[in-house]
Amino acid sequence: MDTKSNDVCPLCDSGSVFFWKDEKIGNYFQCGFCLSVYLDAGCHITKEAEKERYLLHDNDINDPKYLDFLKPAIDLVEKNFKKTASGLDFGAGPGPAISHHLKKKGYSIAVYDPFFWNQPEVLQTQYDFIICTEVMEHFQNPKKEFGLLRSLLKPEGKLICMTEVYSESINFSNWHYRRDPTHVFFYHEKALQFISESFQFRSYERQGRVIRFST
């Protein structure tokens, strides 16, 4: 594989350098500006294989352990928004647990997923909050996706994300998070700052794997 085949960052368009090679998955690059690490586009699996892998995820909407994992994002919605607020569960997957839970609490929330809930009409309006849990690491074109997400937020809105953030303290070769071939972009803290500034969010906050961008 050509180690120079994808040397422009798909988030910030800066130059990148070859970072690491997984013999089964492919080549990874690191952006010289936002410091994120991403998989060479030529090594992405097919859409069919991607969907099959998502179907293997054990994300039962009634699984208390899974709901506990998602609880920080759910709590942010309940803390910051009244039940009159409108929301979007973006990248909901085959089992939209967060929207299912919030609907039971009385929230109005739409669902979108390119594989399982491909409803483009829900992308034609704006929302008070968008939930994007364990999704942004799958973005093959993060610049495009964050542009879309920002356009879907009302003033005083919030984009609530969950992902594992890459840092220099992580042993990338042994990092469990990168072993999933559908995980193609790993955000550094500097990338989160770039997203906040470049897409004109008012601010962002991060607590562990939970990231909140505010308009």
pTM score, whole prediction: 0.93
CB 10 within 8 A of CB 185: yes
> What is the pLDDT, as a whole number, of residue 147?
98
> What is the pLDDT, as a whole number, of residue 85?
97
pLDDT digits (tens, 9 = 90+) for 108-135: 999 999 999 999 999 999 999 999 999 9
User: What does the domain layout of the chain look like in residue ranges?
Assistant: 46-164+189-214
> What is the pLDDT, as a whole number, of residue 68?
84
Low-confidence stretches of the chain (pLDDT < 50) are 1-3
> What is the pLDDT, as a whole number, of residue 1?
41
> What is the pLDDT, as a whole number, of residue 66?
75
> What is the pLDDT, as a whole number, of residue 5?
54
> What is the pLDDT, as a whole number, of residue 168?
97
Q: Give the tokens for residue 16.
A: 């990148």
- Looking up tokens 């929302």 gives 127
- Arch. (CATH architecture) of 46-164+189-214: 3-Layer(aba) Sandwich (3.40)
